[in-house]
Amino acid sequence: MSDTASATLSVERLSVGYPGRKVIDNLSLSPIRGGALTALVGPNAAGKTTLLRGLAGLNRAYGSIRFGGRELVGASATEHAAHVTYMPQALPQRVGLTVFEALLGALKASPHGRASSADRELALETLARLGIEQLAMRALDELSGGQRQMASLAQAIARRPSVLLLDEPTSALDLNHQLRVMKVVQAIARERGIVTILVLHDIALACRWCERIIVLSGGKVFADGSPDEAVTPKMFSGVYGVEARVEHCSRGYLQVMVDDDV
């Protein structure tokens, strides 16, 4: 994306919740830039999924979500879908489609769906990029949990969103596939200038791949900044209730050692 001004996502005074229950209350974030990865971390029930669902227009939101000069709060589902893709935490249903058919279905439903031959090419290219082209003709019902998670990620990427929201995209993956996914998502975010927010429970993975880490606790932002700024012993004790050491490894990445509860 050449227009860098349109590649930021701004959130101001955002409230999101469920009927009779506000989870995110009056939350503001400095603009999230496209082209790099942003991690959303925090303990269970902190409101991470609720925040992403609000950003994706799947839960009613109040306040302001601006992307590329457009206000998304109150925008139609079509307008939201034109910009934002949300990959849920739950693995896709075991439907009787092949990986390739499910991917084509997602592309057809996407606002960027093109002529079917271009869609087929894009579907194959996305599978190859994630290294799962050998799964193309396999039925989704027959895949392992990790394979289904990769197939779901392929669907999200192939939709070519401007804002990509990934809810625990590596939770079912082994170490090699975690690495592959983070590499591919980072490369695609850079190439296409995508605003990319990933919910991650693995703080070391977040520190390694994300330039910004937003720590959510009780629906509020506890810390927000570079890994060095956001990931501190104070954050671990205040948010997770654990005593942890944070050190740089020989390659300069942050490593976390959890010693005890507090």
Ligand X SMILES: Nc1ncnc2c1ncn2[C@@H]1O[C@H](COP(=O)(O)OP(=O)(O)OP(=O)(O)O)[C@@H](O)[C@H]1O
Q: Which residues in this chain contact ligand X in the complex, by CB under 6 A?
A: 18, 21, 23, 42, 44-50
Closer residue to ligand X, CB minimum distance, 22 or 33: 22
Nearest to 152, CA basis, from 196, 94, 209: 94
Closer residue to ligand X, CB minimum distance, 48 or 180: 48
Residue 4 burial (CB count, 10 A): 11
Residue where the block lists tokens 């994706």: 56
Nearest-5° Cα angle at 200, 198 to 205 = 100
How far apart are CB 56 and ligand X at their closest, in Å?
13
Give the single-character DSSP code of 140.
Answer: G
Closer residue to ligand X, CB minimum distance, 53 or 160: 53
- Looking at residue 64, its amino acid is S
Q: Report the Cα 179 to chain-centroid distance in Å.
A: 15
Residue 146 burial (CB count, 10 A): 16
How far apart are CB 200 and ligand X at their closest, in Å?
10
How far apart are CB 47 and ligand X at their closest, in Å?
4
Closer residue to ligand X, CB minimum distance, 41 or 84: 41
Give the single-character DSSP code of 240.
Answer: I
Closer residue to ligand X, CB minimum distance, 123 or 239: 239
How far apart are CB 163 and ligand X at their closest, in Å?
18
How far apart are CB 186 and ligand X at their closest, in Å?
22
Q: How far apart are CA 136 and CA 138, in angstroms?
A: 6
The sheet with strand 220-225 has its strands ordered as 84-87, 163-167, 195-199, 37-41, 212-217, 220-225
How far apart are CB 120 and ligand X at their closest, in Å?
35
Closer residue to ligand X, CB minimum distance, 100 or 222: 222
